[in-house]
Amino acid sequence: MSSPKQLIEGFSRFREKHFAKDDALFRELIEQGQTPRTLVVACCDARVDPALILDCAPGDLFVIRNVANLVPPAENQGHYHGTSAALEFGVRNLGVGNIIVLGHAQCGGIHALLEGGVTRDDSFIAEWMGIVDAAREQVERELAGADNQVRHRACEQQAILVSLNNLMTFSWIRERVEQGTLTLHGWYFDIENGQLLGYDTSTRQFTKLQ
């Protein structure tokens, strides 16, 4: 269900649903602009569209998607900081009150990180995944003998925590968190079991949210 022809037909159904039956919402979104309360950092994986799995309406979520839902640390080297620029806009311009780093099971980026799946010299992926190399090191240290599913799941969840720590390296995020106007959340979509887990800072575990 994703050929261009099918997608155009999908747009027709979207327009019918939202502009004909629910035009008050779009009138509000157009007149007032976007006012999302939550920013989500999600993976590019086709199975983990945040608006779909969290059952949101247009305008509800400010979404950043990249390979393996990573947040890089604040740094000024390089030129093209797509994720950092989007974070800045969501936090400083839109004033979101929540940031959710939404990881997921069976993440291809984490698989490549653990199994060395990217070996091409001209690949962008290996360097990008280096953002969470500390998660890989921890899993290899603590779960060296475990089976792949356990190691991958642990790394997917540990990578979320690295990204949460990296969020705090942006001064305009840290300030808002310390003032209590912005809350950070680590969530994990367990696509294999149909569950949504959240990181509990008191128990240091991912537990069921629903």
Pairing outcome for strands 61-66 and 38-43? parallel
Place of tokens 């940031």: 99
Residue 42 interacting with Zn ion (CB under 5 A): no
Map the footprint of Zn ion across residues 115-174, applying CB under 5 A.
none
Sheet of 38-43: strand order equals 61-66, 38-43, 98-104, 183-190, 195-200, 205-208
Min CB(45)–Zn ion separation in Å: 4
Residue 190 interacting with Zn ion (CB under 5 A): no
Could you tell me how many residues of this chain bind Zn ion (CB under 5 A)? 4
Min CB(107)–Zn ion separation in Å: 3
- Alpha-carbon gap, residue 105 to 34, rounded angstroms: 30
Residue 45 interacting with Zn ion (CB under 5 A): yes
Six-digit token string for 130 = 């280096």
Place of tokens 């540990």: 158
Min CB(120)–Zn ion separation in Å: 19
Between 128 and 199, CB nearer to Zn ion: 128
Six-digit token string for 105 = 């099971």
Map the footprint of Zn ion across residues 61-80, applying CB under 5 A.
68
Considering only 39, 40, 41, 43, the residue that binds Zn ion (CB under 5 A) is: 43
Between 43 and 167, CB nearer to Zn ion: 43
Write phi, then psi, for 186 (nearest 5 degrees).
Answer: -110, 110
Min CB(106)–Zn ion separation in Å: 8
Map the footprint of Zn ion across residues 81-110, applying CB under 5 A.
107
- Alpha-carbon gap, residue 164 to 170, rounded angstroms: 11
Single-letter residue type at 145: G
Min CB(132)–Zn ion separation in Å: 12
Question: Which residues make up the interface to Zn ion (CB under 5 A)?
Answer: 43, 45, 68, 107
